[in-house]
Amino acid sequence: MSEKHFAKFVVYVAKLLQRESLPPEALDHCLEGNWSGFREFHVSGDLLVIYFLDEQMLNLIRLGSHSELFE
């Protein structure tokens, strides 16, 4: 992960910890199927983060490309 992408990742995680919405460019959305109950956001074009929020914690589950995460 480049420094630029890492900086964006940190900003996005901070927003989620504050229960703020991510910017539209993050393409934050709910997942379906085997990943139902989880969410995903994009750090960059094909660098994705799967996560979920509960009442007390942000749970970062996986980080990788679309093919690494879903195939």
Q: For position 52, what pLDDT does the model report? A: 96
Say if residues 11 and 21 touch (Cβ distance below 8 Å).
no
CATH C-level class of 3-70: alpha beta
Average pLDDT per run of 10 along the chain, which is 71 residues long? 92 96 96 95 93 94 91 76
Q: For position 71, what pLDDT does the model report? A: 76
Q: For position 55, what pLDDT does the model report? A: 87
The span from the CA of 18 to the CA of 4, in Å, is 22
Domain ranges within the chain, ordered by starting residue: 3-70
The span from the CA of 20 to the CA of 35, in Å, is 22
Say if residues 51 and 60 touch (Cβ distance below 8 Å).
yes
pTM comes to 0.91
Edge-to-edge strand ranges of the sheet holding 29-30 = 29-30, 39-44, 47-53, 58-64
